[in-house]
Amino acid sequence: MVPLTESAIRASFVNCTKGEAKRLAVPLDLIDRPWTDLDFFGWRDLSGAERAYLVADPGTGPVGVALRVATGSGRARRSMCSLCLTTHTGDGVALMTARKAGPTGRQGDSVGLYLCADLACSLYLRRKKDAGRHLDETITLAEKIERTTTNLTGFLGRVLG
Ligand SMILES: [Zn+2]
């Protein structure tokens, strides 16, 4: 994807207030991120707060979504990311919820998604990061990327309602 600047990221959020978008923790090392290998840019808030963010560019400019990470419930958890379909062991997949954009979100409506806990889907797909196990799939990397993008677009559509 096209490299994003901090101001482009802050301006892209669709499901939080302007004040929240101004204050949220954007990584400082944007210039060093592997943008050419990213289908979307995602990160966890390193302050320890259970927050994560993702910014995608569906072709109409960046769309940012603020996510809340569900903390371990102890119950059986899904181990497959619903975007990139990478399977992980342990805490590698997390349930994240996004407040919907607009009035429904302000009334508390949200959308949930099982995601690679570090939001590095793009790097798992390209085997630049190892998840430990891989699905035996015969489809090509390009097809996997397309599938991930389709899943992501579907999620964005649900957030935007
Ligand atoms: Zn993933």
For residue 8, the CA-to-ligand 1 centroid distance in Å is 23
For residue 144, the CA-to-ligand 1 centroid distance in Å is 11
Q: Answer yes or no: are the C-beta atoms of 4 and 29 closer than 8 Å.
A: no
Q: For the segment 95-109, what is each residue's pLDDT rounded down to a tens digit? A: 999 999 999 999 999
Give the pLDDT band (50/70/90) at residue 73. Answer: low
The b-or-e profile of 79-90 (16+ CB within 10 A means b, else e) is: bebbbbbbbbee
Q: Answer yes or no: are the C-beta atoms of 115 and 40 closer than 8 Å.
A: no
SS3 13: strand
Interval 2-26 mean pLDDT: 96
pLDDT for 18 beyond 60 = yes
- CA-CA distance, 149 to 135, in Å (whole number)? 18
Strands (E), 9-153: 41-44, 51-56, 63-69, 93-99, 110-116
Q: For the segment 112-156, what is each residue's pLDDT rounded down to a tens digit? A: 999 999 999 999 999 999 886 666 788 999 999 999 999 999 999
Which pLDDT value is given to residue 25?
A: 94
Comparing C-alpha atoms, which of 49, 54, 48, 44 is closest to residue 13? 54
Q: For the segment 31-53, what is each residue's pLDDT rounded down to a tens digit? A: 999 999 999 999 999 787 799 99
How far CA 49 is from CA of 6, 69, 99, 126, 156, in Å, comes to 20, 9, 16, 29, 23
For residue 116, the CA-to-ligand 1 centroid distance in Å is 4
For residue 83, the CA-to-ligand 1 centroid distance in Å is 5
How far CA 35 is from CA of 4, 40, 70, 71, in Å, comes to 9, 9, 27, 29
Which pLDDT value is given to residue 71?
A: 74
For residue 28, the CA-to-ligand 1 centroid distance in Å is 23
| Terminal C-alpha separation, the chain | 24
For residue 126, the CA-to-ligand 1 centroid distance in Å is 11
